[in-house]
Structure formats: structure tokens, C-alpha cells
């Protein structure tokens, strides 16, 4: 049973004092509930949930009023949110910077909904006629608006004391739904916006002569904010493609890819120091000299798993001009299109090793992408793309028409604000699966892979190869598959609000089919934890590779209360499907 208070029995004998003290440590250290012999977490629908007085006590320990998250569309239901503005909701529904500003809003609204085993869906739809009522779904019910380390510590200590189901949310940009959980308590870090520059940064415990031109980003800083600040200082930083992504949260914890990665490495390769609050409430600053095992795990071992990150310090680079290469091809000949995509897959090794990175998409009629190469001359850019351009033109007799554009841009920041920052499906119900295609795969299985990718109208990210492949696979906890990958491919399903559970399940079956097809073709290639599916095959190996067992031992060391558990995260295999009871 969960212990509401702990008191000593009066008048113990001297011989009993040690036993009593030990018993109190066990009882007060982590309250538990029990269901069928399992150790379970407390959710808001249970009698173990804290009462008003207990939440009032928490309020005295934090700097901001407690938050009561609501689904994004709640303002369109006056009985749910009488002070809300439905017009604002409608106008900003797809705005990736508006959604993170609310503690209950997720980038993909399907992760705000909850589907019962009988197929009933509890949700809050933008189209109010679907149900007529706004229901909480998977949105947390109460939490802390963290503005400081002390706020996070208060939230963590309260969660541990009451054995609550916890989620950590910064932006809610998450394709596995890790920022929400039914009946949960949330620590919301979105408003931790500090940005600090230090041109001679020295990590704690490091030699004084080991300096970096660095920037430290608070847990709530988003990439558009980080890029703008760094650019104003004449620098650039390896970061995400979407403006709304958190720069110091799950992006880094999953590995952190960028169009700059072929030249400068992944996010985890550019992190110098990380500050984190553990489930014990302890605040640590970790790097290669202090708690290096935790620093290793936090760089790619998965978000929401080891603690709550409060800030990350990254190295920066001098801002340099870049070349931009745009390509588009169209065809009504499906065989020719498959040939074209296969050739592009084979070409990825050369492109990324030359320093090109970027993003693209395809379907049975169209292939398009945009590449960016920092600090490359126009002459080199032309030379390194000429073979591909010529190949595409050679397919004209088979009905493939193509066009290319090459031009110079003054900086990475210019690339971000003009091209990359708008590439997202905010406000759409979406599930995806990804695959990190290795050098061997694109050299030997390009035809078979191209067929699957065209069948799912895939997106692809040229964010590996080059520098990413040159770094020791064991230098960080990130999936070792990254160190042999040259491109990440993504297949997606999406549906309209109000779709029935059977319709959604049908689409999920389609997604599972693509997952199996790609897994069968590329069983050793792995997937990117931040852009993947809840239905990936052999997820421990797929997401973490040979690092999984080490990551799990580090988690057990630094999270003794087993507080941090997320879908398909390290250690989640010790929990039930709902991640509420531990085996």
C-alpha cells in the first residue's frame, strides 16, 4: 500500500532502532501501490492520487502556479475551457511554435487521445460536432511549470513521494507520444529559455586549456530561438530542421540529426556538458570528466529515461556561406521512377561524404530534394553533383523530366529560415517509421528498398554519412547504426480527426507492413529513436543496438526509483504496455 505518512513506533528497544530506521527508509523512500502483485504507479483515476491539500503544499514549493493542462481544442468547448478563444485555436492549429506554448498540446493530436480496448476513443476534436464534448484523453491532468532547477526538483520529489505517473514535456514534438500519459503528472520545461554564450567555455572538471566557443541552452529553448541567438554572435550550431523542436530535450537524447551532420556530426557529437535532475532530486552537471557514464547515456540513450535535463552546452562553429542544390523530377513511368530512386540511394554515400546534407520526398510520380553544403565553393558544388544531374537527364527518353538549381546562400541560418523551418506537419494525426540505411544497404539492396519507399511515398533525410561515420560508435550512447548510415528514410500514415478506431487500426496495419518490409530488407540497419514507430520490430536492437544493456545498467544506477519510463525507452521492457505497472 502507498504510505501517506511515516512515523516511528514509540519506545523501540535499542536492538530494534536500526531495523526501524531501515524500514522507514524503504517505506518513505518510494511509495507504491499494488495491483495483482505488481508494483504500480498512481494515476488520477485512483484513490491514491494526492488530495487538494497535498497539491496546495506543492504549490508553496514552486515559483509558478501549478498548471492544469487541457487538450489543444478545449477552448472550442466552453464547458471545458470557458476562458478560451476558439478563433485562436483554429487560426494556430498547425503553428509549431504556438502548440508548445500550452502544457497540454502535442504536435500530433493523436497523442492527446486515448483509445480503450473496446475501440472507444476519448479525445477533444477541433471539429466539435464529432463528439460534442472535450475529454482529457492522454493529456496530463496537473503539473509544474518549471522555470528553475528548484522547480524541477520540487516536482520530482513530489512525484516520487506520491508514486505518480510522470511525464516530462518541453515542446510535445514527439512521434512516440512520450510527452503525454493518461492520468499523469507533468513537469513542463518549456519556459526554461536561458541562452548563455561563453567563447572560452571549460567543462567542469576539465583541464583549463580545453576550451570551446560554446552556448548553453535551457531545457525550453527551441531551435529557431537558438539559431537566431547564435547567428547574432556570428556563429552556427548543429541543430534540428524544425523551428519548434526543443534544442536541449528529446532531440539530443535521441541522437540529434541535422543537415549539417555530414560535415560536423550529430548533436550528441557536439554536446560538451549536460545538467540534469535525477529521480533522487539530485542535480548533476555531467560531461566527460564528471559522471561520464551518465553523460554518455544522455547523448543518444533516449529522452525521458535517466532524468530531467535542465540545460545543454554545445560547441559552436564560425558562420560560413553554403551552397544550395535543388532537384525535382517527374515521371509517369513507375519503372523509371524506381530506377531514379535506386540511383539516388546509391549516390548518398558520395553526396554525404562530400559534405552535402538536406531533406527530400518521393512518390510514384515525383522525386524532389534540397541539399545544403557548408563552406563549399560553387565550383566544387557543381563538380560533386554533376554525375547525378547527368544521370537524371539520361532518363528523359523514359519519360523522366528533371530540373536542378544551384545557388549560394550567405549562411546556415539563411538556409534554415528560408527552406527548412517550415517542413513539418503540426496539428496532423500522424504515425511514422524510419530506417537508417547503411552503406552496404544502399550499395546492394537499393532496388528493393526503392520499391518499398515509393510504395509509402517516403520522406528522406540526408543527415548521416560523412563526419557521422568517422566518429567512434562507442563515443556516445546513440545507436551505433548511425555510424554506418548514409540516409534516414521515413514512411508515414495520417488521418482526419474523428476517424474510427477500426479506420485507424487499418492504417496502423499498413504502417506495420512497411515496418516489416524494411526490417526484412535491412535487419541490421536500425532506426532513429526520435522518428519511429511504437511498432518497430525488436525495438531494443532497432533503437539502441549493442548499447542497450549498458544503457540499462546506467539507467538503473541513476534512476533508483524507476521514475522515468517512456514508450520503447531503455528499461520500459520491465513494465506493462501502459507503462503503469512494473513486472
418/441 Cα distance (integer angstroms): 33
Q: Which residues of the chain have pLDDT under 50?
A: 1-31, 35-37, 422-423
Which has the closest alpha carbon to 106: 119, 120, 123?
123
220/236 Cα distance (integer angstroms): 19
322-408+427-544 maps to which CATH number? 3.40.462.20
Which has the closest alpha carbon to 558: 294, 309, 308?
294
Q: What is the pLDDT of residue 33?
A: 58
> Any idea where the domains of the chain sit in the sequence?
52-188, 195-319, 322-408+427-544
Q: Do domains 52-188 and 322-408+427-544 have the same CATH topology?
A: no
Q: What is the pLDDT of residue 412?
A: 86
- The whole model's pTM is what? 0.93
Q: What is the pLDDT of residue 32?
A: 53
The 10 Å Cβ neighbour count of residue 284 is: 18
List strands edge to edge, sheet with 581-582.
33-35, 38-40, 581-582
Give SS3 for 32. Answer: coil
Q: Are 191 and 161 in contact (CB under 8 A)?
A: no
Q: What is the pLDDT of residue 25?
A: 33
Q: What is the DSSP letter of 46?
A: S
Which has the closest alpha carbon to 5: 41, 44, 31?
31
565/559 Cα distance (integer angstroms): 10
CATH of 52-188, one of 3.40.1160.10, 3.30.43.10, 3.40.50.300, 3.30.2130.10: 3.30.43.10
Q: Which residue has the cell 554506418?
A: 484
Angle at CA 26, nearest 5°, toward 23 and 30?
A: 150
5/42 Cα distance (integer angstroms): 16
195-319 maps to which CATH number? 3.30.465.10
326/406 Cα distance (integer angstroms): 6
Q: What is the largest CA-CA distance in the chain?
A: 96
Q: Which residue has the cell 514552486?
A: 62
Q: What is the pLDDT of residue 418?
A: 78
Buried b (16+ CB within 10 A) or exposed e, 116-151: eeeeebbbbbbeeeeeeebbbbbbbbbbbbbbbbeb
Q: What is the pLDDT of residue 30?
A: 44
Amino acid at each position: 500500500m502507498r504510505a501517506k505518512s511515516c512515523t516511528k513506533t514509540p519506545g523501540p528497544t535499542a536492538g530494534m532502532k536500526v531495523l526501524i530506521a531501515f524500514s522507514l527508509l524503504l517505506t518513505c523512500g518510494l511509495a507504491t501501490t499494488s495491483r495483482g502483485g505488481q508494483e504500480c504507479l498512481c494515476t488520477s483515476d485512483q484513490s491514491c492520487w494526492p488530495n487538494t491539500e497535498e497539491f496546495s503544499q506543492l504549490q508553496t514549493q514552486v515559483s509558478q502556479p501549478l498548471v492544469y493542462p487541457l487538450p489543444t481544442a478545449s477552448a472550442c468547448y466552453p464547458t471545458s475551457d470557458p476562458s478560451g478563444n476558439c478563433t485562436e485555436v483554429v487560426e494556430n492549429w498547425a503553428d509549431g511554435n504556438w502548440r508548445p506554448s500550452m502544457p497540454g498540446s502535442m504536435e500530433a493530436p493523436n497523442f492527446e487521445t486515448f483509445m480503450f480496448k473496446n475501440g472507444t476513443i476519448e479525445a477533444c476534436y477541433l471539429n466539435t460536432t464529432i463528439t460534442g464534448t472535450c475529454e482529457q484523453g492522454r493529456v496530463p491532468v496537473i503539473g509544474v511549470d518549471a522555470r528553475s532547477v528548484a522547480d524541477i526538483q520540487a516536482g520530482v520529489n513530489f512525484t516520487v513521494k506520491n508514486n505518480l505517473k510522470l511525464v516530462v514535456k518541453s515542446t510535445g514534438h514527439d512521434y512516440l507520444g512520450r510527452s503525454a500519459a493518461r492520468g499523469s503528472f507533468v513537469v513542463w520545461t518549456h519556459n526554461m529559455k536561458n541562452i548563455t554564450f561563453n567563447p572560452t567555455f571549460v567543462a567542469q572538471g576539465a583541464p583549463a586549456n580545453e576550451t570551446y566557443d560554446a552556448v548553453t541552452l535551457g531545457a525550453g529553448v527551441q531551435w529557431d530561438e537558438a539559431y537566431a541567438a547564435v547567428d547574432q554572435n556570428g556563429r552556427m550550431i548543429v541543430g534540428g530542421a524544425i523551428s519548434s523542436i526543443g534544442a536541449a530535450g528529446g532531440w539530443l537524447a535521441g541522437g540529434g540529426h541535422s543537415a549539417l551532420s555530414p560535415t560536423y556530426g550529430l548533436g550528441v557529437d557536439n554536446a560538451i556538458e549536460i545538467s540534469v535532475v535525477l529521480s533522487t532530486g539530485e542535480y548533476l552537471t555531467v560531461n566527460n570528466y564528471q559522471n561520464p557514464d551518465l553523460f554518455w547515456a544522455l547523448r543518444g540513450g533516449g529522452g525521458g529515461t535517466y532524468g530531467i535535463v535542465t540545460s545543454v552546452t554545445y560547441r559552436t562553429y564560425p558562420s560560413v556561406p553554403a551552397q544550395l542544390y535543388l532537384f525535382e523530377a517527374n515521371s509517369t513511368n513507375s519503372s523509371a521512377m524506381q530506377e531514379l530512386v535506386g540511383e539516388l540511394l546509391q549516390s548518398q554515400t558520395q553526396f554525404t561524404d562530400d559534405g552535402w546534407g538536406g531533406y527530400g520526398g518521393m512518390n510514384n510520380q515525383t522525386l524532389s530534394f534540397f541539399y545544403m553544403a557548408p563552406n563549399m565553393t560553387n565550383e566544387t558544388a557543381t563538380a560533386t553533383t554533376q554525375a547525378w544531374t547527368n544521370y537524371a537527364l539520361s532518363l528523359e527518353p523514359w519519360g523522366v523530366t528533371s530540373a536542378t538549381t544551384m545557388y549560394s546562400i550567405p549562411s546556415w541560418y539563411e538556409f534554415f529560415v528560408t527552406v527548412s523551418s517550415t517542413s513539418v506537419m503540426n496539428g496532423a494525426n500522424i504515425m511514422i517509421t524510419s530506417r537508417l540505411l547503411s552503406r552496404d544497404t544502399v550499395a546492394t539492396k537499393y532496388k528493393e528498398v526503392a520499391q518499398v519507399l515509393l510504395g509509402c511515398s517516403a520522406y528522406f533525410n540526408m543527415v548521416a554519412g560523412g563526419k557521422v561515420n568517422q566518429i567512434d560508435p562507442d563515443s556516445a550512447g546513440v545507436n551505433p547504426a548511425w555510424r554506418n548510415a548514409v540516409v534516414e528514410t521515413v514512411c508515414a500514415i495520417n488521418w482526419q480527426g474523428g476517424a474510427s478506431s477500426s479506420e485507424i487500426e487499418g492504417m496502423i496495419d499498413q504502417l506495420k507492413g512497411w515496418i516489416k518490409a524494411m526490417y526484412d530488407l535491412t535487419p541490421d540497419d536500425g532506426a532513429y529513436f526520435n522518428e519511429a514507430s511504437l511498432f518497430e520490430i525488436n525495438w531494443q536492437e532497432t533503437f539502441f543496438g549493442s548499447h542497450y544493456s549498458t544503457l540499462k545498467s546506467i539507467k538503473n544506477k541513476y534512476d533508483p526509483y524507476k521514475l522515468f519510463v517512456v514508450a520503447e525507452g531503455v528499461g520500459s521492457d520491465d513494465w506493462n504496455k501502459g507503462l503503469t505497472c512494473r513486472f
